[in-house]
Structure formats: structure tokens, C-alpha cells
Amino acid sequence: MLKGSYYSPEVETLERSDLDALIDERVRYTVHYAAEHSPFYRNWFRENGINPDDIRDHEDLLHLPTISGKTIREHQPPITQEFEFLSTAWNDVFSIQETSGTSGTPKGFFLTWDDWKRYAEKYARSFVSQGFSNKDRIVVCASYGMNVGANTMTIAARNIGMGIIPIGKCTFESRILKSYKPTAIVGSVFKLLRLARRLAAEGLKISDTSIDKLVVGGESFAEESRIYLSELWGVPVYNTYGSTEGTMCGECTQISGLHVPEDLVHLDVYDPQVKSFVKDGECGRGILTTLLPVGGKCGMLLINYDTEDTTVVLSRERCGCGRTHMRIVNPQREAETVWLYGNPFSRSDIEAAVFQNQNMISLTGEYEAFLQDTDVPGETVLQVNLECFDPERCDRHGIEDQFVSRFLKFKPLIAEHYHDQSFHIKFKFTGPRGLDFYSLKGRPKRLVDHRER
Ligand SMILES: [Zn+2]
């Protein structure tokens, strides 16, 4: 991408000191707006003995408690009479959204049209940073529903002047690519892998399509699977991290972390006990705060909201693309992280081990893993099921060796237990659609911890 191609150049390239001053001004305004307009925050400040006037800058947010998805659920019907997070008059609510609700009642979110414009601004910046322009035509595989993702991308596309093909799922026919010649697809890594495979089975040469970039998001993934996807399609793959709560971070063409739109969403990274900030470069929990421009209104805002995702601030220096907004590591679901013998690992660690180069000659990339106790106290088994194009014709030993060496690479404590044989890794090779999760509903759970607590 040419340097100097931005959606909102002034704000995206602000010097750090000016950006921090803008953030502090918005923190003060947002805190006041919350105290005045949301019943939840009015009580929250009172109950915690906090005077909103005392919150002067972003570091002061450390003195406020954090809230979570649970807090939102506990302050909305049927638990309370009213939606206590609602921070505007019902007349001003343009749309009501919900999070996917994987754990209990979905959280209600209220957006004014101004909120939509700010959400779309974040995606538009991200798209432009990935080289999108009015010459692009993009297939949106993200679903159009109660979450904001696909709709936000659509408004962002309109603002950039690019074309939208709003399919809302990845299971589209190859004629879509042949007839409309889109230049990009937005979807999840695994859906785009499956799509490539299906198109290839239909005789379409993937590298001959009009697609020149892919945008992924929706779940975290290993760098190895991104590289594989990129090779399969022969195009760059850019990552995004978005949620109905209002995070919309995206990788630019430099692929060196996701830019956080810092003037619109403030992200702090806390230690695991959620007591203090961790240093840049250290892993911690992402805690976000909506930032409203002075004079702005919004349907619902979040202050110190625990995303339950872990991340790392990579840099607050100017990026190679010219943007100054900080860059973070692709966030991981904390719930998907398990601890074993003192080392943490996540689904992405399994995935990285699966997507080793030589493995991908015989593996489809689909996998599932289960962590189990054995009959011997202190012993643990990681059962890894791998889908092969043809289980009869795959180099099982080679794949197992590749997997084990990559999986143990950064986990010295787990490796020790592996070598003294109190930790075992067992493999099962299945044919196409032979994994357990195919018979279950919903998004596949690829790492399941079956150990007794
Ligand atoms: Zn950049």
C-alpha cells in the first residue's frame, strides 16, 4: 500500500502526545456522559465512592472497578426491570443488537445512528489500511444478524465506495466468484480453508480467481494456519478483531499487529488478577473503554469492560504504514486457555502444531483435541484427532513428530513431563468428516479440557 493512504489521516497519524491528550479528553467526557445518562453507571460510581470528576486521564481508569459480560446480564431484563446500561432515550435508539450469547442470556446492545457511524469508521480505517478502495468488491461471509459485524462492514464499505456481496455465509457457489469477480472475501480462517477445498473439488483453480486479499476474523488462529491459507489462495490474509462491544481492530498491510482505533476505543492490558496494568510486551487481559467524542451521544457504553481475551501491546510507535495507533497481538479467548504443569496453552498452540508445512500434504487442517486424566495420578493425555484426505496414505510418524516438536517448543514444563512420560500425546487419524465435532451443533470446540478439577 502507498504510504499516505488513510481513511481518516489526521487522527490515524496523530503524534503520540496529541493522541494521548485526545484520549484523556474523551475519557473525561465519556465518564461524565455515563454518570449522567446510564442508571447502571450512576449507581456504580456512587456504590464505589467515585466522583466522576476525579477521573482525569486514562491512567485513572485503573482506580475504577472492572465490569464484565456478567455485569451487563445482571443489569438487564429479566434480572432488572430496565436495561440499566442503556444511556440514551429509547427514541434515539436506531438498532438493538445482541451478542452471540454463548454463555447464557444474550447481552442487549443499543446503538444510535452515531454509534453505527463510529463502528463503521473503525472498520473503514481497517479496510483502507489493508489496501481496500472503491475499486474493490467484497464478499461478506460474516453473518447478518443480531451481532454488528457484517452490518458494520457493509456501512464501512459504503463509506469507502466499495461494492458489497452480502452473502452472510461461506458456503456460496463458485458462480459467485466467476460471475461477479469479487476482489476480497471476509470470513473465518477455517471457513475460507473449506471454501478453497470445495472450489478446488469443483475444478476451480483458486489462484486464478479474482480474489486478491482475504480478511479473517471471528476467532483467533495460529500464524501457521494464516500462512497456509495465504499460500492456498495465493493472496495476503489480514486479521481483524471485532465485537459487538465495540472493539474493531485490524491489521494493516505491514502485518505487524492489529491497530487499535485509540481515539474511539481505549484498551488497557491488565495482569491476571486485574489489579494493575502490565508493561507493553507482556501478556494480560484486555480491558476496554468506549471513547465518545466531546458532545457525542451513545446508546450504550462500556467503561473498564473485561473482554475476557488476552493480548499483548506490541508497540505504540509509528507503524511502517504511518499510523500511530498502537498495535496488539491477536487476542485469544481466555476461556480457551488451559494450564498444564505450570505452562498455559491454547487452541492456537494445537493449531500451530497441526499446520506444520510437511503435515499439510496429507492433513485437511481440521482437528480437535481433548485433555484427559489417566488412571495414574498426575498423568495426563492430550488426545489429538486429525482429519486426513486419506488416512491410509498419510505419513503418521512424520506428522506426529512435527506436531510434538512444535507443541512442546515454548513449553519447557510440559516438555519435561512429556520426556519423563507423565504427559502423553496420542493421535487418531480420521478420514474426511471423521472428527467428533462434526456431529455436534454450533461452532466446533477444538480444545476440550476433560480433566477433573
Ligand atoms: Zn500499520
263 CA from centroid of ligand 1 (Å): 16
272 CA distance to ligand 1 centroid (A)? 28
Distance 126 CA to ligand 1 centre (A): 10
Pull the grid cell for residue 225. Answer: 494456519
Q: Please, which residues have CB within 8 angstroms of residue 72's CB and are 6 or more apart in sequence?
A: 85, 107, 108
Measure 13 CA to ligand 1 centroid, in angstroms.
Answer: 10
pLDDT at residue 416 above 50? yes
pLDDT of residue 100: 67
Q: How far is CA 417 from CA 273, 366, 378, in A?
A: 27, 27, 10
Query: Would the CA dihedral through 303, 305, 311, 312 be positive or negative?
Result: positive
Predicted local distance difference test score (pLDDT) of residue 78: 93
| Closest by Cα among 339, 343, 359, 338 to 445 | 338
Radius of gyration of the chain (CA): 23
Residue 213 Cα distances to 172, 233, 340, 380, angstroms:
18, 9, 38, 42
| DSSP H or E stretch at residue 22 | helix 16-37
Write down the residue that cell numbers 499460500 correspond to.
231
Chain segment 182-212, per-residue pLDDT in tens? 999 999 999 999 999 898 888 888 888 999 9
How does pLDDT run across 133-142, given as a tens digit for each residue? Answer: 999 999 999 9
Predicted confidence (pLDDT) per residue in 345-365, tens digit: 889 999 999 999 999 999 999
Distance 321 CA to ligand 1 centre (A): 4
Among the ranges given (126-130, 249-253, 389-393, 440-444), the one the predictor scored with the smallest mean pLDDT: 440-444
**Contact assessment for residue 323 and residue 346, using Cβ atoms and an 8 Å cutoff:** no
Cα 45 from Cα 34, distance rounded (Å):
10
Please tell me the predicted confidence (pLDDT) of residue 1: 41
- For every residue of 316-352, DSSP letters joined together read -SPPTTS--S-EE---EEGGGEEEETTEEEEHHHHHH
Span from the CA of 211 to the centroid of ligand 1 (angstroms): 22
Distance 18 CA to ligand 1 centre (A): 18
Res 101: pLDDT: 61
Distance from the alpha carbon of residue 425 to the mean position of ligand 1, in angstroms: 39
337 falls in which pLDDT band (50, 70, 90)?
Answer: confident
- Give the pLDDT score at 2: 42
Mean pLDDT of all residues belonging to the chain: 93
How far is the centre of ligand 1, averaged over its atoms, from the C-alpha of 347 (Å)? 27
| Å from CA of 251 to ligand 1 middle | 7
> What confidence tens digit (pLDDT) does each residue in 376-405 have?
998 999 999 999 999 999 999 999 999 999
The predicted structure's pLDDT at residue 71:
95
7-28 per-position pLDDT tens digit: 999 999 999 999 999 999 999 9
Q: What is the pLDDT of residues 65-103, one digit of tens each?
A: 999 999 999 999 999 999 999 999 999 999 999 986 666
14 C-alpha to ligand 1 centroid (Å): 13
Rounded distance from Cα 318 to ligand 1 centre (Å): 8
Q: What is the dihedral of CA 137, 139, 143, 148, to 10 degrees?
A: -20
Residue partners of 62: CB distance under 8 A and separation at least 6: 268, 276, 277
Could you tell me the pLDDT band of residue 220, with boundaries at 50, 70 and 90? Answer: confident
Residue pair 385/354 in contact (Cβ under 8 Å)? The answer is no
Nearest to 105 by CA among 67, 77, 66: 77
**Angstrom distance (rounded) from CA 244 to CA 302:** 11
The pTM score is 0.92
Task: Give me the pLDDT at residue 329, please.
Answer: 93
Q: Is the pLDDT of residue 302 over 60?
A: yes
Measured in Å, residue 132 CA sits from the centre of ligand 1 at 14
- Round to whole Å and give the CA distance between 140 and 337: 29
**445 SS3 class:** coil
Contact 306, 71 (CB under 8 A): no
Provide, rounded to the nearest whole percent, the portion of the chain with pLDDT above 70.
98
